[in-house]
Chains A and B, each alone.
Chain A
Amino acid sequence: MLMPNAAVGSDTGSLKDLREAADEVLFEACRRNDERAFRTLVERHAALVTRLANNVVHDEQEAEDVAQDTFVSAWRNRHAWRPEAKFTTWLYRIAVNKAIDRYRRRKPAPEAPEVITRMADATVSVDETPNQHRSLEHRQVSKGLAAALDALPASQRMALNLFYFDELDVAKIATAMLTSEQSVRALLKRGRQTLKSRLQRQKNFSVDGYSGISLDARRTRA
């Protein structure tokens, strides 16, 4: 029997050997043009690669196309992979990038006011340091999240801020908030749930509300 870390020869490995071999061993065989080894890898990772893509593109057929592109690209670029890298990390990065390409191609062209805002921002950023630019960008893209966080009860907001933005562990947050670790875990859980419902309300508002309506039409409505 072939051990997970043993080599897979292009003609010698049985189906059982292939199925038991580690990803990296199989992909090493792929680099020697072993298509059977690659087929085993596709069978092994097709589901997660498709799911990864579907979480971005939200369309099963497109997700399958992305998965296909991902595996074909992995095969074509197999000599670019370095054996010291984990195969799945490398593969999933290809998948995410392919899914992003699809997402971007499908995204509708921005409406005129949005373009003007971006141009204005670009002009401002010329005189700014990279850090200032990042913080400006940060504030813009985080508007929705910041609003949702601000609306949380103070204790939930503080726990989430300390955990996610100050990167403190639960024990340190408990000390800082003069409470128990169990309470902090409960605060984090409730905070995430409240945040989820508020962010979903924002999404519903943008879908059912003003989305796709011109500024003039919005004024008329108001």
Chain B
Amino acid sequence: MDILEFRLMLDALGPEIAAWPQDAANAAVELLASSEAAQDLFAASVASAPSVPDGDATRLVDRVGEMISRGRKA
């Protein structure tokens, strides 16, 4: 898959790659692994896609804070 196809797939199917046909999803992941332009396109697509309201991030924030503090002490 190249970036042009990837853009078309994003526009047609949306950014939920896990819901794409398996071969297309695998090809998209390979492209994402090697192309920063594809990564940026994907991030922009996710940011603009309609989504359910995001949940509470407190737990994640606390977990990250803990990991960082632990790293500092180690």
Contacts and interface: CB of A to CB of B under 8 A. Distances in A.
B39 A96 contact: yes
Contacts of A170: none
Interface string B17-52: 111111110110110110010011011001100010
| Interface of chain B, main secondary structure | helix
Lowest 6 CB-CB distances: which A-B pairs, in order? Answer: A58-B18, A47-B54, A46-B57, A141-B27, A92-B43, A164-B8
Given A52-B43, A55-B42, 9 more contacts: A39-B64, A46-B60, A48-B47, A56-B18, A89-B40, A164-B11, A167-B4, A199-B24, A203-B20
A42 B64 contact: yes
Nearest to A33: B72
B12 A199 contact: yes
Interface stretch (A19-27, A125-133, A142-150, A171-179): A142-150
Interface stretch (A1-9, A71-79, A214-222): A71-79
Interface residues of A, number: 53
A195 B19 CA distance: 14
Nearest to B46: A52
Contacts of B71: 72, 75-76
B19 A51 contact: no
Nearest to B40: A89
Interface string A155-174: 00000100011010000000
Interface in A59-91: 64, 67-68, 71-72, 75-76, 88-89
B26 A107 contact: yes
| Chain B: number of interface residues, binned into ranges | 35 or more
A68 B24 contact: no
Interface of B: 1-2, 4-5, 7-9, 11-13, 15-24, 26-27, 29-30, 32-33, 36, 39-40, 42-43, 46-47, 51, 54-55, 57, 59-61, 63-65, 67-69, 71
Contacts of B61: 39, 42-43, 46
Contacts of B23: 141, 143-144
A4 B55 CA distance: 26
Nearest to B23: A144
A206 B16 CA distance: 17
A97 interface: yes
B13 A72 contact: no
Contacts of B8: 145, 160, 164-165, 192, 195
Interface string A88-126: 110011011100100110010000000000000000000
Contacts of B57: 42-43, 46-47, 50
A196 interface: yes
Contact of B20 (A71, A143, A199): A199
